[in-house]
Amino acid sequence: MIDKDDSARRARTVPAEHQRGRTRAGRAATQIHAILRDEIVCMQLKPLETLNEKQLGERFGVSRTPVREALLRLADEGLVEIYPQSGTFVSRIPRRSLYEAILIRKALEATTVSLAIAAMKDDRLELLDANQRALEDAARSGDIPQFHKVDTAFHQLIADIAGYPGIWAVIAQVKVQIDRYRYITLPQTGRLDLVITEHAAIIEGMRSRDDRTAVSAMSQHIGRMTEELQDIEHLDPALFIDDH
């Protein structure tokens, strides 16, 4: 005779186990996405490099399902291209989208630095000064990933000081191609020193509560990249694509 209570318990258990499996797969996909995203942004995985689902599954010790989900998320962000008959490849950096992202970031960061000055307190300036020292340390050691990390923290800190972290959330969404571009250009001779000088100008404008100077310094700092994009023939053309 079938135990109705036992049958009901099993009916409830199977979906729960299935749900746990889906949750584990979702967590795995999230972790894989984060790792691959970081490797693409840091140019460890370069444009046109192949991403093989089977090999990635073996690397991360998972089935193809979470790998495929992670790749689909990356495709939505414009970081990979999936061709059903050919495979999956790291996307090239789209010139026009990069240019637009810089313009958006320039406008938003000019706003945040102005708002930060209005909300500025002395202890916030101390955090900016500490960040500047960390940036100089990273430059002296030639640690590009650390330099980029500290640089990013500087801009996020200004948004936090302004009291509008949501603005930074928007910037973070649009700056992914900018980050890839910066990992190409930061190793160039004199680039780290230039960034340090530009950050110092922004901080001094904020310290003196000089809105015009600080906004101008920020606009020059971000906007310089738009000028550079008009003269990037010296960079590997295979890294970029025209997306008119």
pLDDT in tens, 38-49: 999 999 999 999
Same-domain check for residues 17 and 103: no
77 and 39 both lie in a single domain: yes
Q: Which of 40, 75, 91 is the last residue in one of the domains? A: 91
Cβ-contact 203, 116 below 8 angstroms:
no
Asked if the model's pLDDT at residue 13 lies above 90, the reply is: no
Which of 34, 56, 91 is a domain's end point? 91
Q: What is the CA radius of gyration of the chain?
A: 23
Q: Which domain holds residue 84?
A: 4-91
Q: Are residues 76 and 128 in the same domain?
A: no
N- to C-terminal Cα distance for the chain? 71
Is the confidence at residue 35, as pLDDT, over 90? yes
Q: Do 80 and 194 share a domain, yes or no? A: no
Q: Are residues 205 and 218 in the same domain?
A: yes
User: Are 155 and 224 within one domain?
Assistant: yes
Instruction: Look at residue 205 in the predicted model and tell me its pLDDT.
Output: 97
pLDDT digits (tens, 9 = 90+) for 116-157: 999 998 899 999 999 999 999 999 999 999 999 999 999 999
| DSSP E strands, the chain | 80-83, 87-90, 93-94, 240-241
The structure tokens listed for 208 are 């003196």
Model confidence at 226: pLDDT above 90: no
Global pTM value? 0.84
Q: What pLDDT, on a 0 to 100 scale, did the predictor assign at position 21? A: 54
pLDDT in tens, 69-123: 999 999 999 999 999 889 999 999 999 999 999 999 999 999 999 999 999 988 9
Residue 8: which pLDDT band, with cuts at 50, 70 and 90?
A: very low
| Shared domain check, 98 and 86 | no
pLDDT of 10: 44
pLDDT at 23 > cutoff 90: no
pLDDT, position 1: 47
**Domains held by the chain: number:** 2
Q: In this predicted structure, what is the pLDDT of residue 85?
A: 86
pLDDT at 237 over 50: yes
For residue 5, the model assigns a pLDDT of 53
